[in-house]
Structure 1
Amino acid sequence: MTQTAHSDNEARRTLELLGPAPENWVPERPGIDHNVFIVGGGQTGCAFAFALRRAGIGRVSVIDAAADASKAGVWLNRARMNKLRTPKSLVGPEGGLPGLGFQAWYEARFGAASYREIDRIPRERWADYLAWYREFLAIPIRYATRLVRIEPVDGHFRLHLEVNGSARVETARKVLLCNGVAGNGGAFVPRELARLPASLVAHTSQAIDFAALRGKSVAVLGGAASAFDAAATALEAGAANVHLFVRRATLAAVPVSRARAYPGAYDNYFDLPDALRWAQALRFKRSGSAAPLDSIERVTRFPNFHLHLNAQWGAAREAAGHIAAEVSGETFEFDFAIAGTGYFIDPSARPELADFASQIRLWRDQYTPPAHDSDEGLGAHPYLGSALEYLEKVAGRAPYLKDIHVYNPAGFVSAGVPVGDVPSMKRDIPAVVRRISRDLFLADLASHTERLAAYVAADFNESAYASSVWQREASSA
């Protein structure tokens, strides 16, 4: 037996010990196509589909805008790190079932000794594992399907889709947004770059032809991991030189989020006062996102890599097919520029949320920090409930918002972790599934009351024990 076959057998044994998935217990409703509609077929969309299946919730649909599995998600497309940035030991999409986890999968293919040797998970191995997870658990994904608009109607949502270029409308009771880093906003591109021709600029969220940068001079803006990974990829592709521009005077090097990485804070984060959650988000933002040391070493080994600190771009223009830029009093010319500048949060920027974006409670609606701790960007994050559901800005005006769950980085201020990444899975996937289960159950309480009162046939009758019933002896005269 091959190691791979052994791994699959161990995974099958895990499912056997868990027992069969429950049958769908959610009553059908006329005119409803899906109980739960999951937007995004990446690691979290698949994990939710499996968790909902185990909770006995049927009629779950998962869509992804990518043409097929090879183009879905970030790991083989827009992600450019060599290793994941999180510890290898974190619980991921296996949901507490070790036989379905990365370690079991990896050890079966490469051995336990190899697993011990890796400090963090290689990106491409993680992609291979996720493909196995999806295929082994038979998670159906509807590719080439894009959500265009969520239209609230009476008691459910009408979902306007684009399927292989054609318009289609389906209905669902619950919507789960597992749609990645731009799912509640978009890619942030500094205005200095946004004014340049699109042929000269890309954001790290986009597909970039790095091979075309061979022999070219490249500028990268940003000081976090994605900027360093893009710079490294350009250098490894043969760029003539790469200049990376960081606004801070020193690189962020303190991973402040580790201060709250213990079970008490992690498990009870939603019960913290708003002021404390705000302070934690602000501390992280002010400290900066620290790139892993190996991402920095990946670029500094190149003599044609140049790091600019305390560097603010001023004017930038197109000049004879190149970029002419003024940066901190110096003049540079580049063939191409890459924005590794992160993402902005603004639900109103998402066309699929346009019908109700103004009704979503944001952090600025919920909490007013002291003036010296105000932050417009953090204030734009949605203020989410403990199951990552939208809340109403004004009570009673948009009660349907509680039926949209946000499993993307817009939940950071509320949840304290990068929602959608591995660190969020252990706590938040079960919490969201429990809430979906509760909401669907109580919404059909009349039907369940009838089912709970239904006639149940006896397993046996009195003949099964009649011969053993004690008969009192008659008293003597």
Structure 2
Amino acid sequence: MKHTPTAPMSTGLAALEAQLAQDLDFLELPAKSWVPERFHDGAPVRDVVVIGAGMCGLAATAKLVLTGITNVVAYDVAPAGLEGPWVTFARMQTLRSPKTLHGPSLGLPQLTFRAWFTAQWGVEAWRALDKIPRGQWMDYLVWYRKVLALPVRNSVRMTGLAPVGDLIAIDIEGAETGRVLARHLVLATGRSGLGGFALPDFLKGIDRAYWAHSADEIDFDALKGKRVAVIGAGASSMDNAATALEAGAGSVDMLIRRKEMPRINKLTGIGSQGVVLGMHHVPDAWKWKFFDYTASTQTPPPRSSTLRVSRHPNARFFLDCGIVAVREDTGSLLVETTQGPMRYDFLIAATGFSNDFNSRSEFAAIAPHIRTWSDGRYTPDMGLLRAGMSDAPDLGPAFEFRERVPGSCPMLAHIHCFNDAAMLTHGKVSGDIPAVSAGADRLVRGIAASLFAEDVETHFANLIAYDTPELLGDEWVDSTPLLQKEAAL
């Protein structure tokens, strides 16, 4: 999916790539590889395996490679060019973030979206650009991966984990099948984090022919002329409602439990490097206070997304409309609401995601051992025990999991939760565009420190063994014999 104002200038992009290569050379990046090679029973061991090659996975992989941790591979279940949500289940027309944000550029100006865009379409086109079309953002990420030559393998799914000594065995299938051994594992698994869709109880048992989650692959053309309901008042609910309307749905009703639409994006209002770098250092009670407040006030959908729905005369907004029950009835859905019964042909649940580790078979070996905030980090004096926060993983400083029972699953210390589930512990640095570079830096600093400490004996042995002289012995004359001769006179 291409979203470009005019035909791009390939010569401009070539010049940008040359400048980026020079900048990397000036900064001596990638750094020289420094992690000792390791084998287990003759099989090679990866220093780090990254699961997910969306924006966060690419940023993490790039930062690892630039730091000299080069024995790395990233796997993504999607085919090349379809990683992440941008051209799959994201249905907004443009990104919500300001176009000027640095995103995954890792502090390199020539790696920013702005540099990539202006190299191809010029400064005037940049000035005219309002928000970034989501397909164009995907084009940029494809270029990002290519220009950095990142080691990504597509159409590969992780199916299981197991400890092998002090290593992590990762079972994979797809374009590559087998078992990969790694010292560290990074889960850059996006919005779904470690769980999956958050589904309300009233949809359990309802035939999937009648409903979909907003992150599902949905045949919107099949909704032409149909009565559609969308649950929620967030950005994804608006995007899905608009897509259904634009595909010719007969009617779309927004069923919104709140009495008023949220209007203010609170976290955007305090966005700063202080929040990015400081949130994970403040006491837990303050972390809880910040995110509990923003959860209670909620994030409004973008104005453009809301207008995209409301401009259709066959769209209706029902506020203070909670859903009591849903049942199948004569080829349709009968939805009992606090405003009375309503009938629909199809329902889209824009109800977000959960941190239910037990719902994913690939996490079966670690799910029972993962310590969450409800295991002691949260205390009642912090405020309301809120679902979605209390089940968030209690992470260490490098996004590493912690054990619920010490000693029960040591490999958790080498598995890093670099996805949306890390927000309560680390702030919004591992899921959204604004601070992903800071998150990748924090992650990789921790992994690098761990790898060095684990190999400290080898590094010390290398220190002792190093014998390349800087002085060859012909740079001076020893004056001691002369002094002795003079003393004898």
- Same topology, TM > 0.5: yes
Residue identity matched to 2:118: E
Q: Secondary structure at the match of 2:222?
A: helix
Task: Sort the Cα spacing of 1:460 and 1:370 in 2 relative to 1 into closer, same or farther, 3 A.
Answer: closer
How far 1:468 sits from its partner (Å)? 12
2:421 counterpart residue number: 410
Is 1:87 the equivalent of 2:95? no
Between 153-162 and 431-440, the greater mean CA deviation after superposition? 153-162
Aligned 8 A contact 1:85 1:292 in 2: yes
Match of 2:111 in 1: 100
Distance 1:371 1:10, change over 3 A: closer
Instruction: Determine if the alignment matches structure 1 residue 346 to structure 2 residue 331.
Output: no
SS in 1 for 2:154: coil
Q: Please, which of 14, 27, 32 is the counterpart of residue 36 of structure 2? A: 27
Query: What are the within-5 Å matches in structure 2 for residues 56-455 of structure 1?
Result: 56-66=68-78, 68-164=79-175, 168-365=178-375, 366-370=377-381, 373-417=384-428, 419-455=430-466
- Cα offset for 1:361? 1.4
Paired with 1:380 and 1:34, the residues of 2 have a C-alpha distance of: 31
1:54 counterpart residue number: 66
Give the AA of the match of 2:101: L
- The residue identity in structure 2 corresponding to 1:341 is T
Would you say the 8 A contact 1:222–1:340 is kept in 2? yes
Q: Is the 8 A contact 2:289 2:382 kept in 1?
A: no
Structure 1 residue 16, shift from structure 2 partner: 2.7
Report if aligned partners of 1:275, 1:369 keep a CA contact under 8 Å in 2.
no
Residues 214, 240 of structure 1: 8 Å contact kept? yes
Report deviation, 1:133. Answer: 0.7
Distance in 1 between residues matched to 2:472 and 2:14, nearest whole Å: 48
Shift of 1:319: 2.6
Contact (CA 8 Å) 2:276, 2:429: kept in 1 or not? no
Task: Report the more deviating stretch, 428-437 or 17-26.
Answer: 17-26
The secondary structure found in structure 1 opposite 2:96 is strand
Q: Could you tell me whether the CA contact under 8 Å between 2:105 and 2:437 is conserved in 1?
A: no
Structure 1 window deviating more from structure 2 (371-380 vs 213-222): it is 371-380
Is 1:37 the counterpart of 2:49? The answer is yes
Cα distance in 2 for partners of 1:167, 1:21 equals 29
Normalised to the residue count of structure 2, the TM-score between the two structures is 0.91
**Cα 1:392–1:259 shift into 2, 3 Å:** farther
Q: Aligned-pair distance for 1:474?
A: 7.5
Q: RMSD value over aligned CA atoms?
A: 2.3
CA distance in 2, matches of 1:26, 1:465: 38
Contact 1:14 1:100 (C-alpha < 8 Å) held by counterparts: no
- Gap regions ≥5 residues in structure 2: 1-9
**Any idea what SS the aligned residue of 2:87 has?**
coil
The answer on whether the counterparts of 2:429 and 2:438 sit within 8 Å (CA) in structure 1 is no
Partner of 2:380, secondary structure, is: coil
Deviation at 1:454, TM superposition (A): 1.8
- Distance in structure 2 (CA, Å) of the matches to 1:19 and 1:273: 38
SS of aligned partner of 1:392: coil
SS in 2 for 1:275: helix
* 4+ long deviations beyond 6 Å: 471-475
Deviation of 1:306 (Å): 0.5
Could you list the per-position Cα deviations for residues 23-43 of structure 1 after superposition, in whole angstroms to 9, with x for gaps in the alignment?
Answer: 321112222431101000111
1:49, CA displacement in angstroms?
1.5
The alignment covers a number of residue pairs equal to: 474
Q: Deviations over 1:136-173 (max 9, x none)?
A: 11113212211111112321111122224x85212111
Summarize the Cα distance change of 1:436–1:371 in structure 2 as closer, same or farther, 3 Å threshold. Answer: closer
Secondary structure of 1:244's counterpart equals strand
1:193 deviation in Å? 2.7
User: Aligned with 1:417: secondary structure?
Assistant: coil
Long gaps (5+) in structure 1: none
SS at match of 2:152: coil
| Distance in 2 separating the partners of 1:408 and 1:437 | 19
Letter in 1 for 2:111: L
Distance 1:190 1:18 in 2: 51
- Whole-angstrom CA distance in 2 between matches of 1:439 and 1:85: 36
TM-score normalised to the size of structure 1?
A: 0.93
Separation (CA, whole Å) in 1 of partners of 2:129 and 2:380: 43
1:169-188 residue CA offsets vs partner (Å, 9 max, x unmatched): 12111000001111211101
Shift in alpha-carbon separation, 1:157–1:13, aligned structure 2, 3 A: same
State the Cα distance separating 1:425 from its structure 2 match.
1.1
Shift of 1:95: 0.2
**Offset of residue 467 of structure 1:** 11
Is this contact kept in 2: 1:313–1:328, CA < 8 A?
A: yes
Residues 89-110 of structure 1 show CA distances to partners (whole Å, capped at 9, x for unaligned) of 2222110000011110011112
Report the alpha carbon displacement of residue 412 of structure 1 after superposing the two structures with TM: 1.5
Deviates more, 1:408-417 or 1:418-427: 418-427
Q: Distance in 2 between matches of 1:72 and 1:267?
A: 28
Q: How many percent of aligned residue pairs carry the same amino acid?
A: 35
Deviations 1:331-379 (A, max 9, x none): 3222211111111112222222221222211111112123852223311
Question: What's the offset of the Cα at 1:235?
Answer: 1.0
- Aligned-partner Cα distance in 2 for 1:452–1:218: 68
Alignment check: 8 A CA contact 2:230 2:350 kept? yes
1:420-455 deviations in whole A, cap 9, x for unaligned?
Answer: 221331321111101111111110111111011223
Residue type of the alignment partner of 2:206: L
How far did 1:313 drift?
1.6
Q: Retained in 1: the 8 A contact 2:229–2:252?
A: yes
Greater mean alpha carbon deviation, residues 448-457 or residues 259-268: 259-268
Change (3 A) 1:468 1:308: farther
Structure 1 contact 222–341 (Cα < 8 Å) conserved: yes
User: Bigger CA drift: 343-352 or 458-467?
Assistant: 458-467
Report the equivalent of 2:14.
5
